[in-house]
Chain A
């Protein structure tokens, strides 16, 4: 079991052939060999360099196995030299790291008070925005539809959104189509299925027929993961159970009032249900798909193109904050920074349990899982493709879907693509990876086959 935190995948040295791959298994097996790299990466510039290199190397070798084989054959230093000869790594890094004065200093960023928003929120009290010369107000917002409308209205310059939302907005499902971009994922993992105490002996999802379950939004990872989980157990999520869209804070109250049997929701509300003694944590979303994205940092294409320096500064701040949050030793400090009423407005002990991963499960056990929630900014295109396959699987989108191009337009695989274009460089193509959800491997290059492989679907 993972008990020590480690840097997220985008912050790792892309030239290290021994770095464990994200998919499958525990990430902590190579901790000893990682220690010297960790110390290298203390400085911020190093980390930026690494993010850029990571994007470039992954672009050139989109398949992990191929990259690995290449690195193993020629050796790391040769690899760097070889890539630098065809691709100016140093320039790309400089472009990304240069700090031209932002065009607009006073910004408003909307967030929903859940722990997924941690990097966006903590960047304010811990001074990450300030460091980039920005004066950001983070504004708490009442719900996903409101945050969408306020961002479309330009009341917010950027916002915390659910990872599927920028895709949905760009395609115009659930709202008018507005070109949206998602330059960074905020958190990975960090959700859970929480059930009412009365179901503590019904842990097998096969017995859940007739359950009323809640998810935060139709276009959310929560909805897709819950549907996936139920369908794997042989339940049809549309006919065998009732899935409702309920704002997260009301999930706990509804659980107490016995209106719902459980929910797949964001923290802090899973832990809050435990804290208030009304529910228990059935399973962490991490156990369904380790490393799944959940929430994202999103902005309109217009903001990105009209205020490029502001946007770059903002993104730098968010990436910095995400890097800081990905380290286990910083988690306690973060918990106390985001607990006050101005931010998450939750008891500190609840947030600490979520962020450190040492938590009460509601059934009398203390569990430890340092990666219960983790933070990694890299917006893999394959994440977007997976989300699109689920939208199609459940009938939210119909007909032909151009998975690849939508994913590429919306999920800016690190902002480098745009910044490189500005500097006259060739931006990297899509960065994809395969991963598995509940043991079933997903290959982003064959989305239609993936969908037709499911027994329960709406297509």
Chain B
């Protein structure tokens, strides 16, 4: 029963995909009106103008281009032209670095806030004000103060990954069952030991939920940040192709951004399952 349901789901997914691709092909396949041109003049014009070709590429065109991109992902033809693999690697590296830094700050701070009602109240106004700020709004300030565009991008990742982790850690820590803490007290554990061997495992699933939300946001933000600062990364790649008005490659990068985002999310999902427990 379970197997047949899964099988059916796959079939439906496939059908939806085929329907979407067909609709896409049909939507862009039509030729627009073409004005008759002098052949000399036509030589100077692009296919959109001469053949009335739609500016939007069809799935076949996108697929061919995707194959080209993926068959040589690591070429390096100078600072402004690198393979898609290298660009993705740059982005993933930036995200990881900013994200890890954020974890290093958010988790200890979250513990502090979660364990101390005083700090919770004292720091709450800061968190409430800083949390809703769009991470990209920090970019000009970061560029101005850090004076390095790569570090600024990492800073933006740091600041956007910080809040979900911080809030979830604080929440997870403060809602650990009082019984367990009382047991730790009876056993005369030091506060540090209590935090490590009682609260951390108990709050881990909530913390990981925060981390999973954070990685998703970080990946969303890196693309925008790299479009702003340029240089390297998948965001820069999108911008560079946009600059060339190559919608085909923009669509391909959208696909790849989605895929990498999914992989990152799945990874965090695995870890989350590993630390979750049944009460």
Binding site for B on A (CB under 8 A): 113, 137-143, 146, 149-150, 152-155, 249-250, 252-253, 256, 272, 274-278, 340-343, 345-347, 349-350, 353, 359-360, 364-366
C-alpha spacing A256/B49, complex, angstroms? 12
**Across-interface contacts of A341 in B (CB, < 8 A):** 77, 80-81, 240, 244
1/0 contact trace for B216-235 toward A, CB 8 Å? 00000000000111110000
C-alpha spacing A295/B11, complex, angstroms? 57
Q: Is B23 an interface residue when CB atoms closer than 8 A count as contact?
A: no
Please give me the residue from chain B that is nearest to A275 by CB atom: B46
Q: Distance (Å) between the CB of A404 and the closest chain B CB?
A: 31
1/0 contact trace for B24-60 toward A, CB 8 Å? 0000000000010110110111101110000100000
Contact A346:B44 (CB < 8 A) given known A146-B230, A149-B144: no
1/0 contact trace for B113-127 toward A, CB 8 Å? 000000000000000
- Could you give 13 example pairs across A and B, Cβ below 8 Å? A113-B243, A139-B231, A140-B230, A141-B231, A146-B230, A152-B147, A249-B242, A275-B44, A275-B45, A275-B49, A277-B48, A278-B48, A366-B41
Please give me the residue from chain B that is nearest to A175 by CB atom: B144
Q: Contact: A342 with B78, CB < 8 Å?
A: yes
Q: Contact: B239 with A142, CB < 8 Å?
A: yes
**Across-interface contacts of A365 in B (CB, < 8 A):** 41
**Which among A113, A256, A360 has the greatest number of chain B C-beta atoms within 10 A?**
A360
Please give me the residue from chain B that is nearest to A108 by CB atom: B79
**Across-interface contacts of B255 in A (CB, < 8 A):** none
**Across-interface contacts of A256 in B (CB, < 8 A):** 55
Please give me the residue from chain B that is nearest to A272 by CB atom: B245
**Across-interface contacts of A249 in B (CB, < 8 A):** 242-245
Please give me the residue from chain B that is nearest to A148 by CB atom: B143
C-alpha spacing A272/B140, complex, angstroms? 31
Contact A340:B81 (CB < 8 A) given known A142-B227, A153-B147, A277-B49: yes
C-alpha spacing A353/B50, complex, angstroms? 17
C-alpha spacing A341/B249, complex, angstroms? 12
Q: Contact: A342 with B229, CB < 8 Å?
A: no
Q: Indicate which residue in A113, A139, A252 contacts B79 across the interface (CB closer than 8 Å).
A: A139
Q: Contact: B149 with A146, CB < 8 Å?
A: yes
**Which among B49, B55, B81, B245 has the greatest number of chain A C-beta atoms within 10 A?**
B245
C-alpha spacing A359/B40, complex, angstroms? 10
Interface size on B, residues (CB 8 A): 36
**Across-interface contacts of B148 in A (CB, < 8 A):** 153, 155
Q: Indicate which residue in A139, A143, A342 contacts B77 across the interface (CB closer than 8 Å).
A: A342
Number of A-B pairs whose CB atoms are under 8 Å?
106
Q: Contact: A253 with B243, CB < 8 Å?
A: no
Q: Distance (Å) between the CB of A117 and the closest chain B CB?
A: 12
**Across-interface contacts of A340 in B (CB, < 8 A):** 77, 81
Binding site for A on B (CB under 8 A): 35, 37-38, 40-41, 43-46, 48-50, 55, 77-81, 140, 143-144, 147-149, 227-231, 236, 239-240, 242-245
Contact A347:B46 (CB < 8 A) given known A146-B230, A276-B55: yes
Q: Indicate which residue in A154, A253, A342, A364 contacts B35 across the interface (CB closer than 8 Å).
A: A364
C-alpha spacing A277/B34, complex, angstroms? 10
Contact A153:B143 (CB < 8 A) given known A141-B230, A276-B48, A364-B35: yes
**Across-interface contacts of A349 in B (CB, < 8 A):** 43-44
Q: Contact: A364 with B245, CB < 8 Å?
A: no
C-alpha spacing A353/B41, complex, angstroms? 11
Q: Indicate which residue in B55, B81, B144 contacts A342 across the interface (CB closer than 8 Å).
A: B81
C-alpha spacing A250/B55, complex, angstroms? 14
C-alpha spacing A274/B77, complex, angstroms? 29
**Across-interface contacts of A142 in B (CB, < 8 A):** 227-230, 236, 239
**Across-interface contacts of A360 in B (CB, < 8 A):** 41, 44-45
C-alpha spacing A277/B50, complex, angstroms? 8
Q: Contact: B244 with A345, CB < 8 Å?
A: yes
Please give me the residue from chain B that is nearest to A366 by CB atom: B41
Q: Contact: B45 with A274, CB < 8 Å?
A: yes
**Across-interface contacts of B227 in A (CB, < 8 A):** 142
Q: Contact: B79 with A253, CB < 8 Å?
A: no
Contact A366:B80 (CB < 8 A) given known A275-B46, A276-B49: no
Q: Contact: A276 with B44, CB < 8 Å?
A: no
Q: Contact: A146 with B228, CB < 8 Å?
A: yes
**Across-interface contacts of A252 in B (CB, < 8 A):** 245
Q: Contact: B245 with A253, CB < 8 Å?
A: yes
C-alpha spacing A275/B41, complex, angstroms? 10
**Across-interface contacts of A276 in B (CB, < 8 A):** 46, 48-49, 55, 245
Q: Distance (Å) between the CB of A118 and the closest chain B CB?
A: 15
**Across-interface contacts of A278 in B (CB, < 8 A):** 48
C-alpha spacing A253/B50, complex, angstroms? 18
